[in-house]
Amino acid sequence: MQPTSNRVMVIGGGISGISAALDLADAGTEVVMVERLPSVGGRMLQLSETFPTLDCAQCTLTPRTVETGQHPNIKLLTYSEVVEMHGEPGNFRVKIKRKAPRVNWDDCTGCGACQEKCPKLVTTNFFERGVGTKKAIYTLSPQAIPNKPVIDAENCRYLTEGKCGVCSKICPVGAIRYDQEDYYVEEEVAAIVVATGFDLYPMEAMGEYGYGKIPDVIDGLAMERMCSASGPTAGEVRRPSDGKVPQSIVFIQCVGSRDPEHHKPYCSRVCCMYTAKHARLYKHKVHDGKAFLLYMDIRSTGKGYEEFIQQSTEEEGLIYLRGRVSRIYREGEKIVVWGADTISGEALRIDADMVVLATAIVPNPEQKALAEALGIETDEHGFLTEAHYKTGPIDTVSKGIFIAGCAQGARDIADSVAHGSAAASRAQAFLARLRRSAA
Amino acid sequence: MKTDEERKGKVTSFLEEDYDGNLDVLHYLEVLRDKVGFEELSKKVERPLTGLKIAPYYGCLLLRPAAEMQMDNPDDPSIFEELIKALGAEVVDFPMKSECCGAFQVVNSETMATRCSKEIIASASSRGADVIVTACPLCQFNIEDRQKEIGEAETGFKTLPVLYFTELMALALGCGDESISSKKHYIDPRPVLTERGLVG
């Protein structure tokens, strides 16, 4: 069989997909990267510092995203989604929806004037997770790749009320296109790497933690945005309800994870570490603040992880309590956390200013439809299913389609990078075999 | 009886009767919601409880265990609130509405029962409730009765009338002032009801 193309499509521009794409591109393979959001970087772009080294996520990620954007072998299709796939291994034809950014990206110079002058402050932007605001025309980060904005059509004054047009007036190259529409393109590729990442289990599903209705009860990614120096609060920890600096925070681990009766049975693998990290970052910012960490047990199995936890418990002044929480409610200005200390067996009550929930890692809700379009399988939780649990963790039941990163199961950054590189290697081997059989 | 064959066998052999276990066991609140319907009920209201602030107290066992009770979501129930609204009153939401009142521990540890009840009463009070309403006679008795002790121990403690939900239903459905008896309650509910213009 003669492959029509030697290209590989990477679906998902997070750290795993980027790793796969860069390895493939460096080896001389042409890559088409499809990313749902306006720019690449994925979840890592939302993070503040990363465990166990506490180095800045932007600083470690940006060189990789820049390289992805500039690599001659990588064709970047951001703000795009895979909708259909036809063909067979070696000859996949993939239909891609290119969402309208309502900005002509070819003309846009990325000067940022539109974002600066846009009068509309949006509090519901998905990327900021309820922390701070974004404008109705935005890029995900100051170092966005590509550095081109999109218009949030639901919140844009011009599109919802018919007046405003500030961005259009201010744009020095006249790139604003309010009437731009989605369109579809088709790409031919020989193999596909699916690295569509993860989402967090919704707080709305957790009755005992207030169903997401208490503003000062936030999830882990919201805490990341709050701690991030390039985030909406410029790294200041302030509670969402009144903007006050919290003097005490309760961090709760295993929220939705390891709870087979009500939620997800599995361990989400990163929460023990990022909760310790959150608490340390908070203490670094608010020196006399109290950080309580409620855990089931501590799972710190990566390299340098146990040492990080040891340091957290012994030197950073964090208060670790083995306990479970049965109820969180608002009492005046305080958030009351009720539960049990499972070592002493005593009832536990903490009157805190803010609560951070380490909610379970789940696949993105769109992942199932994508898997169906690609003809690959998902497990009972929606994660992509590997061909063999032990010996085929990157392959799928469909030849030529490989999986990487949290789309397959919860993992940390280092493992996601390794998984991405492994997918690149598997895709290369597949291409080489195709060429051999064609010759 | 419906879900566990083994247990069903034990019960029927003890009863020495061939009961097939097909009877539904319903709480009166469920009958009101599912058989009568709260909308239907609200049409029958003759004296709407306008202005009365009611804290609905579910207690620990009305909704739990959820799988067996199959009545409402134990973490965010609404059945009681819907009833209160149907009667024309105002719902006071409070976080202690499904905590244990301690009635089961009255004999073993009166102080524990008092402490549990106090949390519930204080929580409802601080959110502006005129009365607490229960769907369990034991809760009703306990939360009302504990207030004697709390009142003796704490000067300035503000008592809160505790009513069984059918009392308020009777009042709203037009059974007259005698639906609510001062004599049956340690904490007389009539002053607050009079204040709200509901009994005369």
pLDDT at A208 over 90: no
In a domain, A161, yes or no: yes
- What does the pLDDT average to over A315-326? 94
Rounded to the nearest integer, the mean pLDDT of chain B is: 91
Number of domains in chain A: 3
Q: Does B197 touch chain A (CB under 8 A)?
A: no
pLDDT at position A144, please? 96
State whether residue B50 sits within 8 Å of chain A by CB: no
Assigned domain for A424 exists: yes
Write the DSSP symbol of residue A176.
B
**Of the listed ranges A161-165, A249-253, B112-116, the one predicted with least confidence:** B112-116
A8-11/A191-194 β-pairing: parallel
**The predicted structure's pLDDT at residue A299:** 96
Residues in Cβ contact with B99 at an 8 Å cutoff, skipping those fewer than 6 apart:
A327, B60, B116, B119, B120
Same domain for A164 and A213, yes or no, is no
Q: What distance in Å separates the CA atoms of residue A408 and residue A12, rounded to the nearest whole number?
A: 13
pLDDT for A1 beyond 60: no
The reply to whether A262 touches chain B by the CB within 8 Å rule is no
Q: Which residue has the higher pLDDT, B69 or B85?
A: B85
- Measure B76 CA to nearest chain A CA, in Å: 6
Q: What pLDDT shows up at residue A200?
A: 97
| The 3-state secondary structure of chain B, one letter per residue | CCCCHHHHHHHHHHHCCCCCCCCCCCCHHHHHHHHHCHHHHHHHCCCCCCCCEEEEECCCCCCCCHHHHCCCCCCCCCHHHHHHHHCCCEECCCHHHHCCCCHHHCCCCHHHHHHHHHHHHHHHHHCCCCEEEECCHHHHHHHHHHHHHHHHHCCCCCCCCEEEHHHHHHHHCCCCHHHCCCCCCCCCCHHHHHHCCCCC
Question: For residue A388, what are its two tokens?
Answer: 């063999």
Contact B75 A329 (CB under 8 A): no
- Is 60 exceeded by the pLDDT of residue B152? yes
- Chain B residue nearest residue A204, CA to CA: B76
B73 touches chain A (CB under 8 A): yes
Same domain, residue pair A311 and A410: no
∠ CA A60-A255-A244, nearest 5°, is 70
* A273 and A136 share one domain: no
Task: Judge: B75–A331 Cβ closer than 8 Å, yes or no.
Answer: no
Q: How big is the A-B interface in CB pairs under 8 Å?
A: 14
Using an 8 Å CB-CB cutoff, list chain B residues near A331: 95, 126
Which of A217, A338, A349, A351 should one mutate to test binding to chain B, selecting the residue with the greatest count of B CBs within 10 A? A338
Test A208 with B75 for CB contact under 8 angstroms.
yes
What integer is the mean pLDDT of B153-175? 93
- Chain A: residue nearest B98 by CA? A327
Question: Which of B73, B99, B126 lies nearest to residue A207, judging by beta carbons?
Answer: B73
User: Do residues A117 and A210 both lie within one domain?
Assistant: no
Q: What is the pLDDT of residue A2?
A: 61
Return all residues near B182 (Cβ < 8 A) that are at least 6 apart.
Answer: B188, B189, B190
Looking at residue B110, its pLDDT comes to: 87
- The model carries a pTM of 0.90
B75 or B91, greater pLDDT = B91
Q: Can you say how many angstroms the Cα of residue B181 is from the centroid of all Cα atoms in its chain? A: 17
Measured distance between the N- and C-terminal CA atoms of chain A, rounded to whole angstroms: 9
- B73/A208 Cβ within 8 A: no
Is the same domain home to A254 and A348?
yes
Maximum CA pair distance of chain B?
59
- Tell me whether A316 touches chain B (CB under 8 Å): no
The C-alpha of B13 sits at a distance from chain A's nearest C-alpha, in angstroms, of 32
- Summarised one tens digit per residue, pLDDT across range A347-403 is 999 999 999 999 999 999 999 999 999 999 999 999 999 999 999 999 999 999 999
Complete domains list, chain B, with CATH: 21-195 (3.40.50.11810)
- Per-residue pLDDT band for B67 (boundaries 50, 70, 90) equals confident
The DSSP result for A391-425, as a single string, is TBSSB-SSTTEEE-GGGTS---HHHHHHHHHHHHH
Closest residue of A to B124, CA-based?
A: A331
Q: Which of B73, B95, B126 sits opposite A327 (nearest CB)?
A: B95
Amino acid at residue number B169: M
Residue ending a domain, choose from A317, A346, A361? A361
Query: How many beta carbons lie within 10 A of that of residue B73, not counting itself?
Result: 12
Please state, rounded to an integer, the average pLDDT across all residues of chain A: 96
Same domain, residue pair A328 and A404: no
How does residue A335 score in pLDDT terms, banded at 50, 70 and 90? very high
pLDDT in tens, A290-308: 999 999 999 999 999 999 9
Q: Give the CATH number of the domain where residue A354 resides.
A: 3.50.50.60
Contacts of A380 (CB under 8 A, 6+ apart): none
Does residue A417 fall inside a structural domain? yes
Statement to judge: residues A308 and A371 lie in one domain: no
In this predicted structure, what is the pLDDT of residue A226?
96
- Do residues A46 and A192 share a domain? yes
- What integer is the mean pLDDT of A189-194? 98
Q: Three-class SS of residue B10?
A: helix
B149 min Cα distance to partner chain A (Å):
23
- Tell if the CB–CB gap between A207 and B74 is shorter than 8 Å: yes
Task: Decide if A253 contacts A296 (C-beta within 8 A).
Answer: yes
**Has residue A295 been placed in a domain?**
yes
Structure confidence by residue, pLDDT tens digits, A64-114? 999 999 999 999 999 999 999 999 999 999 999 999 999 999 999 999 999
pLDDT at A3 over 80: no
> In whole angstroms, what is the distance from residue A404 CA to residue A194 CA?
6
Residues 76-115 of B with CB under 8 A from A: 76, 95, 99
Q: Give a yes or no: residue A106 inside a domain.
A: no
pLDDT confidence of residue B200 = 78
Task: Quote the domain boundaries for residue A312.
Answer: 201-361
Residues A283 and A397 occupy one common structural domain: no
Contact A211 B76 (CB under 8 A): yes
> Do residue A207 and residue B76 have CB atoms under 8 angstroms apart?
yes
pLDDT above 70 for A4: no
Judge whether A345 lies within some domain. Answer: yes
Among chain A residues, CA nearest to B94? A329
Q: Which tens digits make up the pLDDT trace of A25-57?
A: 999 999 999 999 999 999 999 999 999 999 999
Residue A2, domain member (yes or no)? no
**Residue at a domain's end among A329, A361, A393:** A361
**Residue labelled with tokens 């309208």:** A100
User: Which among A165-179, B53-67, B144-158 has the top mean pLDDT?
Assistant: A165-179
Flag the least confident range among A131-140, A283-292, B16-25.
B16-25
| Whether A210 and A355 share a structural domain | yes
Domain shared by A382 and A251, yes or no: no
Q: What is the mean pLDDT of residues B105-117?
A: 88
Q: Which residues in A lie closer than 8 A to residue B126 (C-beta atoms)?
A: 331
Residues A352 and A379 in one domain: no
Residue A108 lies in a domain: no
Which segment of A22-26, A197-201, A385-389, B95-99 scores lowest on mean pLDDT?
B95-99
